[in-house]
Amino acid sequence: MKKKYMPIKHTLILLLIFLPSCSTHKYKLPAIQIPEKFTHQEAAATDLHIAHWWQQFNDPLLNDLIMQAIENNYDLAIALEKIEEARAFYHIKKAELFPQIEALGVGQRIKTSDRLREISSTPDVTGIDRSLGIPGTTNSFFSIGFDTLWETDFWGRIWHDKNARYYTFQAEIEQMRAVRIILLADVARTYIQLCSLQLQIQYIQEKLDIDLKLVTLQEMLFTGGLINAIELSIQKQNADTTRSNLASLRIEYVQTKNKLAILTGKSPESLLLSPLPPQIPLSTATLHAGIPSDLLRQRPDIRQAERLLAAANESVSQAIAEWFPSFSLVGGFFSQASKKKNILNCGSMSWYVGPSVRWPLINFGRIQANIDTKKAVEKQAAFTYSQAVILALKDVEDFLIAYFQNQEQITLLIDKNNQAQVAETLAQDKYISGLENELEALRFRKNRIDTNIELIFIQESLSSNLISLYKALGGGW
C-alpha cells in the first residue's frame, strides 16, 4: 500500500502555527493560601467606603489637609510623572511593530587627493596597474530619498517586549496609588499627632504651674522647719523635669507641624492651620476589615507586584524569541546626481526592495544566558509577589489587634480618669473645709493630669492604628 505523506504546503502551515508558540513563556501566579477571614475583626460593616476613610473622623481641617496633599505633594507628583515616562516607553515599543520610514538627503562637494594616483598606480603582485582615476579632481554629489524597514516579528519578540512595557506602565500606576495611600495615611497620622501634642502641652503647662506652686509651698514649709532639704530638692527636680518635658513637646510640636507642611507641598512658614480641635479626632464609623482576598484586589503593592511579574514573564518570552531568525522587509527610493538640476530627472532615480533575514547561529551561549537571566528575574518577581501578599495579611492582623486592644484600654482609662477626677474633687473639698492641706489637693490634681495625658496617648494610638489599618487594607484610592 502506498504511504500518504502530508503535502509540503500543509507542513509549512503547521510550522507557521506551531513555531511562534515556542517563544511564548506561560504566565502563572504563585499559589498562596489565603484565609477566609482575619483573626481579629468585627462582623459589622461600615457605611463608609474605604476610599474616603478619613471622612469618618468628621474633621473639616483634616479633610482640607488631605485635599491639599493630593493637589500639592511632590512625591505624588513625581509618581504621576513616572507613569507618563512608562507610558512613553510603552509607545516606543509599540511603534516598533510598524514600518520605520526615514527621509534621507545628502549634498557633498568632494575633492580627490593629489597623491591618490601615485599610490594606486603602483602595480600589485599580479603586475596589473589598478589606477583609481585622475588625481586632484573635484566632484559634487547630491542624493534625496527614503529608506524603510519593517521587522515582521514572526516570533513575537517585539510583541512580548511591547507587552512587558505595558505591564511596567500598569505597575507604575499601582506605584502611584501606593504613594497616594502612604501620603494620605502620613497626613492623617501627623495631624493626629499634632492634636495630641497640643493637648499634651496644655496639660504639661498646667502640671508645671502646679509643680512651681508646690515648690513655693515647700519652701515656706522648709523655712518654717516643717520639712527637710531633701523633700524640697525633690520637688524642685520634679519642676525642672516638667519644664524640660514641656520644652521637648514644644520642639516636637513645631517639627510635626513642619512635617505636615511638607506633606501638603508647602514651606513650613506658609502652612496656616485653623484652631486645632480640643480633643483627639476619633472615628465615628463601625470598622469592617472585609475578607483577606479583598487585599489582592485593593492593595496597590500587591497589584504592582503582579504586574511586574507579568512583565518579567513577557521578558522571558522576548529572550526566547532571540533563538529564531528575524525577518524584515527593506526598501528604498533615491534620486542621485552630480548636479542639483538633475536631481529630479528620471535617469537619476534608483530604488531597492526585498526581504532580509538575520539568524544568530553562533553566539557562544549569549542568548541562553540572557534567557536564564530573565527567568531569574521572573522568579524574583514571583517571590516578591508572594511576600507582598503575606506581608499585607500581617499588616492587617497587626493593626486589627492593636486597634481593638486600644479600644479596651480607652474604656479602662476613661474609668481611671473619672476616678482621678472624683479624688481631685474630694481632696479640693477637704482643702476648702480645712480638713486637708493644699499640698495634698495639688498632688491629686497632678494625678488627674497624668491620667488625662495617659488617655491622650491611647486615643492618639487608637486613631493612628485605625489609619494604619486602612492603609494596610489599601484604602485611599
Question: Cα(234)–Cα(215) distance, rounded to whole angstroms?
Answer: 9
DSSP 8-state code for residue 75 = H
Beta bridge partners of 102: 147
Q: For residue 194, what is its C-alpha cell?
A: 499634632
Task: Answer whether 174's CB lies under 8 Å from 388's CB.
Answer: no
Contact call for residues 263 and 73 (beta carbons, < 8 A) = yes
Identify the segments of the chain with pLDDT beneath 50: 1-6, 8, 10-18, 43-48, 120-121, 125-133
Q: Which residues pair with 144 in a beta bridge?
A: 105, 335
Q: What phi and psi values does residue 331 have, to the nearest 5 degrees?
A: -170, 165
In angstroms, what is the C-alpha Rg of the chain?
Answer: 39
Distance of CA 157 to the CA centre of its chain: 29
DSSP secondary structure code for residue 36 in this structure: S
Q: What is the DSSP letter of 25?
A: P
Place of cell 546626481: 337
pLDDT of residue 435: 75
Q: Which CATH number fits domain 31-110+135-472: 3.40.50.1360, 3.40.50.2020, 1.20.120.450, 1.20.1600.10?
A: 1.20.1600.10
Q: Give residue 317's pLDDT.
A: 92
Distance between CA atoms of residues 425 and 422, nearest Å: 5
* Distant-in-sequence, close-in-space partners of 411: CB < 8 Å, separation ≥ 6: none
Cα–Cα distance list, 216 to 209, 230, 432 (Å): 11, 15, 19
Q: Is 100 left (phi over 0), alpha (psi -120 to 50) or beta?
A: beta
**pLDDT on residue 5:** 47
Beta bridge partners of 333: 146, 351
How does 99-120 read in b/e, with b if 16+ C-beta sit within 10 Å?
Answer: eeeeeeeeeeeeeeeeebbeee
Residue owning grid cell 528604498? 332
How distant is the alpha carbon of residue 469 from its chain centre? 18
Q: Which three cell numbers stand for residue 470?
A: 486602612
Cell numbers placing 367: 542568548
Q: Residue 358: which H helix or E strand, with range?
A: strand 349-358
Phi-psi region of 199 (alpha: psi -120 to 50; beta: other; left: phi over 0): alpha
Question: Residue 403, exposed/middle/buried by CB under 10 A (0-12, 13-18, 19+)?
Answer: buried
Contact indicator for 56, 285 with CB cutoff of 8 Å:
yes
Tens digit of each residue's pLDDT (9 = 90 or more) over 301-327? 999 999 999 999 999 999 999 999 988
**pTM of this prediction?**
0.82
293 φψ region: left (φ > 0), alpha (ψ -120 to 50), beta (else) = alpha
Of the candidates 458, 476, 439, 451, the one whose C-alpha atom is nearest the C-alpha of residue 215 is 439
Query: The dihedral of CA 220, 226, 227, 229: what is its sign?
Result: positive
- What local confidence, expressed as pLDDT, does residue 127 receive? 45
Query: Domain extents for the chain?
Result: 31-110+135-472
Rounded distance between C-alpha atoms, residue 188 and residue 270, angstroms: 19
Identify how many contiguous H helices and E strands the chain contains and give both numbers. Answer: 10, 4
Cell readout for 245 is 518635658
Q: What is the pLDDT of residue 131?
A: 47
